[in-house]
Chains A and B, each alone.
Chain A
């Protein structure tokens, strides 16, 4: 029992220290900016019933990654595209692409599991999202022909303003500079040493509390990490009033909160080492880049009106309130669960890239319902326990896409038959994603894989067309 709780706390501590800061802090600010500053009409206008097919599918994917950071957007937008706009196909593409491609999921996947998983997730979700959309459109074409269109909903509403683009670009650059693992960012430029004889002893104490264990993939906690957790708690305390009360206007704690957040990011980008003499701090290319970008954000943010800045911070804080507590609880429970799961079980079920292993991962993903983003620490636990990357991707595709709750909501909007067809297709394509990615990791060549996937989809579409044809003949 004690071991389990300790496992949970240790997992929480190392997550907060290692992964959350440099990725989730900027990602929350980006999500807030997308939600508050990007006019939804800029994307929605391409989703009307008269839009050309290629444009509507592209725009549906764009809407999935730009507008769907908030769950209160997904449902009406999905229903709207289906009933009044471009139809079932793009609506399904939007629904499928949204959970895999939003900025929070993507950056968190990249940092916790590695950039290759994030790239695989977005590429596969895009390809198969459009694929499933097209198949659904073919399958149910006869029923979807006539729908009353209201062109007012798709009125051209202007593009995304330049200052918003510049601001978003700087935020994304900050996210990338903080997380990208390349040499020139990691190179040390200047080393300072703080004389603190107790440093080694403090580190030893941390190692005792949060033991690192390569066998189970448990990470230790470094002094820098402990300091970052403290800073994070301070940001939380300041933000409670500084950003939580932003509706009533900026207060004196607002700049303090933002300054503290920037300071934390810069501090997290420093290299640290512990010796018997003290604590060494290394200024890296990353620290310089993060600092420069934080400074750049100030004039860029000033180009917005006070109301827009207020909206941005309000949205950011809402995301934090919505997601962060669930994530903390999720990570803790994952740490507890890890104590009980034997690596051999994972090895037996999903240690290799087989159809059965991928199917098992998909079934687990469908029947387990985890809140947004918690799928990532779970996937990380599986990875460290020896799951093959193929089934892991299959799980990552299926879990956020399908849950009993989302199936029921979808069924209410598009009908039971369509909803269950969609579920079947997602399960099929998630399994396929896993197999493809697993084969690629195992060394299969890209042209062969590409041909196999294209062939499979062509076969499926051909069979569906044939079915449709046969159905029409007797009638």
Chain B
């Protein structure tokens, strides 16, 4: 699984990455993380606001930090596929 965090490196973005890593670890999911900081690459996705979370090239959330329950909901079905 490829997890991308889109963000300029602001505290909110770092927190999203940390949160996602923790949930992935807790679920025992083997994922590759990438923190995309390049503005051109961020804008290639359909997002206007950061931080954004992209799981296997699908934008899950933009502009806010999701709760752990939401993160679990996104990570589990992807992993079982």
Contact = CB atoms under 8 A, between A and B. Distances in A.
- Which of B8, B49, B62, B65 is packed against the most chain A CB atoms within 10 Å? B49
- Which of A40, A72, A77 is packed against the most chain B CB atoms within 10 Å? A72
Contacts of B64: 36, 39-40, 311
A80 B11 contact: no
- Which of A40, A47, A247, A318 is packed against the most chain B CB atoms within 10 Å? A40
Contacts of A72: 7-8, 10-13, 50-51
Interface in A187-240: none
Interface residues of B, number: 22
Nearest to B13: A72
A84 interface: yes
A44 B49 contact: yes
A161 to B, nearest CB: 13
Contacts of A311: 64-65
Contacts of B62: 40-41
B42 interface: yes
Contacts of A154: 48
B48 A153 contact: yes
A78 to B, nearest CB: 10
A406 interface: no
State the majority secondary structure of interface residues on A. helix
A76 B49 contact: yes
B68 to A, nearest CB: 8
Nearest to A322: B11
Interface string B55-67: 0000100111101
A77 B39 contact: no
Interface in B66-81: 67
Contacts of A44: 48-49, 63
A318 B50 contact: no
B12 to A, nearest CB: 6
A306 to B, nearest CB: 9
Contacts of B13: 72
A450 to B, nearest CB: 35
A62 interface: no
Given A72-B8, A72-B13, A77 B49 contact: yes
A71 B13 CA distance: 12
A152 interface: yes
B46 interface: yes
Contacts of B49: 40, 44, 67, 73, 76-77, 80
Interface in A285-339: 307, 311, 318
B10 A84 contact: no
A314 to B, nearest CB: 8
A40 B46 contact: no
B46 A152 contact: yes
A156 to B, nearest CB: 13
B8 to A, nearest CB: 5
B43 interface: yes
Contacts of A150: 46
Given A39-B64, A67-B49, A85-B48, A79 B43 contact: yes
Contact of B11 (A39, A83, A85, A318): A318
Interface in A77-117: 77, 79-81, 83-85
Interface string B1-21: 000000110111101000000
Nearest to B12: A72
A307 B49 CA distance: 21
A153 B11 contact: no
A71 B9 CA distance: 11
B71 to A, nearest CB: 11
A64 to B, nearest CB: 14
Nearest to B8: A72
Contacts of A85: 48
B4 to A, nearest CB: 15
Interface string A49-73: 0000000000000000001001111
B46 A76 contact: no
Contacts of A39: 63-64
The 7 closest A-B pairs by CB, nearest first: A72-B10, A40-B63, A152-B46, A80-B48, A153-B46, A307-B67, A40-B49
8 contacts: A39-B64, A40-B48, A40-B64, A47-B48, A72-B12, A73-B50, A152-B59, A154-B48
Interface of B: 7-8, 10-13, 15, 39, 42-43, 46-51, 59, 62-65, 67
Given A44-B63, A83-B43, 12 more contacts: A39-B63, A40-B64, A67-B49, A71-B10, A72-B50, A76-B39, A77-B49, A80-B47, A81-B48, A84-B48, A153-B48, A318-B12
